Structure 1
């Protein structure tokens, strides 16, 4: 049986209120409100005493009340419209979010993160956040080839920064982007230099702007090197290991299978290497593999996977810095992130 007073000890601590501060400081509630909101009506000594009491009690302003009074909510939003099953094993977004949070925390700004099923649901969420004044601004990821989000956010007056680069520039929206075309050129330089002439590209979701850029760049770089278009092709997936493996099986079943495959993320690259192992195809002797994003998966797989290496947390920091600049009244800008470099490892060699 519980000892007397144990139930009381287990009771959750109550958040301090303006009434508690007024009682402790010996002033009226209106005086507390004036002091904590930097309004005239109380002396400097009284203001200092009230703030000292508030700090002792651990009082913090309620975010909803701040929003209603016209102040900032102290929160930035990030919505991800991707199949949830593709996120558990992909390290890119975890690293991106860590960089974002690192910058936001310096301004005591929280990150409100939500995964949704599709773009329509994402747009509905923006409308709700705007109506409820839940966030001060948003970071928009995975730009689409036909993207309704910049126009929607502009119409709401909700500040935004697009992370990844739109298919077409938007004069009203700041953008932080990476040069996928030059990155693909680096991969083609490596594979072509090794002697590969039949190259496949297992890409991500077809409606993403960066997927389109990578596919277009692959074709451009192949043409520039005089490669036969029939032997250089892209297939799209949902970024998952399952679809990455299935796409690998299809391209290896072709009459003239590729001698090298470029995968749009690390998870699909590892899945592709597993398919090659199942079929007794040596990597890189029978098939060279390149992963677009480097991770621990690429470095612990045998053989270790050649990969594009970039500072993903740094890209997240850059995006968060740009959003804070926009919230501070800065101009609309387009900012380019660091170009990734190719780390050649054991998974690529001569065909």
Structure 2
């Protein structure tokens, strides 16, 4: 038969071609009861032949859904564009949403200055809910007394906390993809201890973030268990700030320093690369005098000089699992948590033995 000339194919066109009612065509196309399987098959075959596609706005109205998922990121846009972790997570989310013909609404708001500063993103959620712009949201960067989950519960919006702690329980409308930060901390600290490092530094991200708080606590606990000292300095995830924190740590300007750090754990790949540059400026050889390890792996770690040892995680899978979990909630399933796999240390040239030997008595 071929497509109809002169414009878009409508349900009326399909009904006239098939000699059935528009209601029957609508039932068949939307997978609803009220037509036989034979009729449904005829309608779908004719729709495919004529090149008919459902109107996204009409479909959303008929199901009282927007067919969209929302994400609000409280980060500097330049930082989002340069940090591979976010790009991979968003790609994982898009892969799942695209397979279900759903859209992703992404908003960037001014970064928080303190944990309670969330008015900007809260206003976005309220507007989205009021206008029915999204059917659910995915949350990044969790704080203590985070105002977002209570708000989303009140608004009736399903949500998934991406990268939440493994002690976070599901709520009436909220699920989580959890990360066991203590397990990853043990992997990094034990790798350094096995190579003779006893005085280490941890350059973390903003400590107001719950995952950074958990990482700092995990590194400190495992270091203490193994008789190691740790000095902690917070940075903002950027390469420049990672370099600045590195210089401060190596100069002994950070309170708590108990000896020359022979290894540094960085909270992400950008800070690790900035740290490498700073160590070069200080004429400190890597790994001859200082070993470097990143909590995030990326192509930056593989292409740096020397290549940076890093925890191999799977941010693409983290994103896809978050999206799948949110689709379950939106379909009415019981909220549940899904645990992400622990990171696996990728050994590279930046990680070496302590050239000065372990502390006396070890």
TM-score (norm 2): 0.81
**Is the aligned partner of 1:131 residue 2:130?**
yes
Aligned residues: 336
**Corresponding residue SS for 2:323:** helix
2:292 match: 289
**Corresponding residue SS for 2:220:** helix
What's the offset of the Cα at 1:144? 1.8
Q: Does the Cα contact within 8 Å between 1:86 and 1:238 map onto a contact in 2?
A: no
Structure 1 CA distance for aligned equivalents of residues 46 and 158 of structure 2: 36
1:105 match: 98
Aligned equivalent of 1:247, options 245, 248, 253 = 245
**Is the aligned partner of 1:202 residue 2:203?**
yes
In structure 2, the CA distance between the partners of 1:320 and 1:284, relative to structure 1 (3 Å rule), is same
In structure 2, the CA distance between the partners of 1:188 and 1:49, relative to structure 1 (3 Å rule), is closer
Structure 1 CA distance for aligned equivalents of residues 99 and 214 of structure 2: 34
CA deviations over 1:185-214 (Å, ceiling 9, x no partner)? 110001112121221111112221100100
Structure 2 CA distance for aligned equivalents of residues 36 and 165 of structure 1: 39
1:120 match: 119
CA deviations over 1:102-129 (Å, ceiling 9, x no partner)? 2223322222222222432222212222
What's the offset of the Cα at 1:85? 2.1
Tell me the C-alpha RMSD between the 2 structures.
2.9
Structure 1 CA distance for aligned equivalents of residues 37 and 325 of structure 2: 37
Q: Name structure 2 gaps, 5 residues minimum.
A: 1-5, 112-117, 254-258, 355-362
Q: Name structure 1 gaps, 5 residues minimum.
A: 1-12
Aligned equivalent of 2:334, options 331, 335, 342 = 331
When structure 1 is superposed on structure 2, of 150-159 and 51-60 the one drifting more is 51-60
- Give structure 1 regions of 4+ aligned residues with deviation exceeding 4 angstroms: 13-59
CA deviations over 1:145-165 (Å, ceiling 9, x no partner)? 221111111111111111111
1:261 match: 264
Counterparts of 1:50-61 in structure 2, within 5 Å, are: 55=48, 58-61=51-54
Q: Does the Cα contact within 8 Å between 2:262 and 2:289 map onto a contact in 1?
A: yes
Structure 1 CA distance for aligned equivalents of residues 334 and 141 of structure 2: 23
CA deviations over 1:219-262 (Å, ceiling 9, x no partner)? 1112212234xxx1222222111111111111111164421111
**Corresponding residue SS for 1:302:** coil
In structure 2, the CA distance between the partners of 1:96 and 1:68, relative to structure 1 (3 Å rule), is same
